[in-house]
Amino acid sequence: MRDPEWYDLFHRRGTRRDFLRVGGAAAGLLALASVPGCRADARLRAIGSYPFKLGVASGDPEPELVVLWTRLDPEALETVGAHENPVTIDYELARDHNFKEIVRTGSAIASPEFGHSISAEVGGLDPGHEYFYRMIVGGEVSPVGRTKTVPAPENTPDRIRFAFASCQDYEDGYFTALQHLAQEDLDFIIHLGDYIYEYAEHDRDTVRHHTGPEIQTLQEYRNRYIQYRSDPDLQAAHAAASWIVTMDDHEVDNNWADGSPEDDQSPEQFLLRRTAAFQAYFEFMPLRQASMPSGPNIQLYRRIRFGNLMEISILDTRQYRSNQPCLGGISPSCPTHISPDQSILGRSQREWLFEGLTRSEARWNALAQQVMVARIRGIDAEGQETWSMDKWDGYPLERSAMINRMADAETLNPVVLTGDIHSNWVTDLKRDFDDPSSETVATEFVCTSLSSDGDGQDMTAGGERLLRRNSHLKFYNGQRGYVTANVTPDLWTSEFKVVPVVTEAGGSLETRATFVIEDGHPGAEEA
């Protein structure tokens, strides 16, 4: 569990006195002249109300660099007439949570074009080290965040411990799972998408309510992120560790694919919507500048290496995919389904991924991605085989190509981390899913939702049926929660942590199941 002293610091907002206490050492280093492009009039001497209502975050760590994020409250800026101006945010990084040993200070400009958010890349740090950070504007001090750089490329750390999670529909439940996640001792957190949901307020009975109609414009996407990010549990989880994020569909529109929306929109209308959605995503996520969107395009696939122990390829299976075949949904196969032109990755990402799977020398090779890779065979009322066309089941030839590449290139210990379907799964990824005796090439862990679909239940009739029909499926659970991964050179341990109740505040945390993979033996076993 987390050091309670530090955790308290996050929950207590900063004060002017905190800043003055460290001001002696920091003030000199914060000289404007040392900040390229920083205008003297961009630093506020005072501000009328607290500007850090959305908290702080960090992300995309490297051996010597982390990204620090915050976004200033527009009403606070308005109190001093600065809401249309660039504003300088000062930041401090320290080795300790009391900021006695400050190691880096600097500034970033929050511009109105990006809604006064910053994602500052702070370099010159030591590999594999824990840091604490905070921001300062107009004498107000933000909550304290904790972050960590990754190990140096040539090092093999003894262990890495992280968590992965997805799907946080604000209406369906409280973010109790995030409250528990914030108290785990983690090197980082991966969010696999559905960070927001685009829907208007539902007319069913929900515990909380979206504000406004289905979101389409930049301001509407921004307002939705503000609503989610105002949640104290989500803020605490961001402050507790750095996040590595990728998006799924609901950050834009349910089940969108490349230029195709779910809704009745022209391609031009949808690209404008995508542009707005990507800009808002970038504004609210702790992403590198390399992920800054350019119109309707955003670079999200990327790779993060943790010394020689692990490499994570973060994928984007929405932006470049062919449209879901056979009219989407859960459908019988059709000619498009098995066309070699169907791709969920798109050509460039596929080449990048396959090259990485071939070249990597890391002991564990994880893919952090959105939709289920394992084949799930369903049977409809007429007795026909059906496939969920929004998942890799809609793109079976590319799935085979990926699994074959892992096998042929002898990629060490491939592990796929998946979100999207609001249920926990463990699967064997087979060379030939039709032949249960064929080689297991990789392991897939699917994490459930944090809140989407409400409380859920341990087992469902559908879950039982799918486990029975698909022998490469090893585990199912339909409750809310997240998965932790403890990775050492010899063993990968995934713990499925569930919160049985999210429709009432204060749900407790349980470890529902633990699965391990031994080095060199793909396929997880229950511990």
Q: Catalog residues that contact Fe ion under the rule CB under 5 A.
A: 167, 194, 452
Which has the closest alpha carbon to 136: 161, 116, 107? 107
Our CB check for Fe ion shows the closer of 224 and 337 to be: 224
The nearer residue to Fe ion, 176 or 451, going by C-beta atoms, is 451
Classify 96 as helix, strand or coil. Answer: coil
Q: Residues in the chain, how many?
A: 527
Joined tokens for residue 374: 């394992």
Cβ at position 195, least distance to Fe ion in Å? 10
Name which of 28 and 462 has its Cβ closer to Fe ion: 462
The answer for residues whose C-beta is within 8 angstroms of residue 303's C-beta and 6 or more apart is 311, 312, 313, 314, 356
Residue 89 C-beta: closest distance to Fe ion, Å: 32
| CB contact at 8 A, 301 and 315 | yes
Closest residue by Cα to residue 139 from 260, 14, 31, 226: 14
What are the φ and ψ backbone dihedral angles of 282, each rounded to 5 degrees? Answer: -60, -40
Residue 350 DSSP SS3: helix
**Partners of 140 in the β-ladder:** 137
Nearer to Fe ion, 130 or 201 (CB): 201
Q: Residue 171 CB, nearest distance to Fe ion (Å)?
A: 12
| Least spacing, CB of residue 505 vs Fe ion, in Å | 21
Shortest Å, Cβ 421 to Fe ion: 8
Q: How far is the CB of 492 from Fe ion (least distance, A)?
A: 25
CB 449, min distance to Fe ion, A: 6
| Shortest reach from residue 262's CB to Fe ion, in Å | 13
CB of 110 or CB of 300, closer to Fe ion: 300
- Min dist CB 71 to Fe ion, Å, is 24
Paired sense of beta strands 414-418 and 364-368, if any: parallel
- Provide the token pair at 235: 């803020």
Neighbour count for residue 410 (Cβ, 10 Å): 8
Nearer to Fe ion, 220 or 390 (CB): 390
Sign of the CA dihedral with 47 first, then 49, 51, and 55 last: positive
Residue closer to Fe ion, measured from CB, 194 or 316: 194
**DSSP characters over 297-333:** B----EEEEETTTEEEEE--SSTTPPPPSTTSSEE--
Burial 184-193 (b: 16+ CB within 10 A, else e): bebbbbbbbb
Beta bridge partner(s), residue 498: 481, 510
Q: What sections of 150-213 are H helices per DSSP?
A: 176-181
Q: Indicate the residue among 60 and 194 with the shorter CB distance to Fe ion.
A: 194
CB 513 to Fe ion: min, Å: 21
Q: Which residue has the tokens 């892992």?
A: 406
Which is nearer to Fe ion, 172 or 283 (by Cβ)? 172
Q: Toward Fe ion, which CB reaches closer, 92 or 251?
A: 251
User: 247: closest CA among 201, 328, 206, 302?
Assistant: 302
Q: Which amino acid is at 194?
A: D
- On whether the CB atoms of residues 68 and 105 are closer than 8 A, the answer is no
Nearer to Fe ion, 85 or 460 (CB): 460
**CB 420 → Fe ion: shortest distance, Å?**
6
For the bound state, the minimum distance from the C-beta of residue 508 to Fe ion, rounded and expressed in Å, comes to 23
Distance CA 47, CA 105 (A): 21
- Collapsing DSSP to helix, strand or coil, 287 comes out as coil
Half-sphere exposure of 295 (CA within 13 A, CB side): 4
Considering the complex, state which of residue 423 and residue 452 has its C-beta at the smaller distance from Fe ion. 452
**Residue 88, Cβ neighbours under 10 Å: how many?**
22
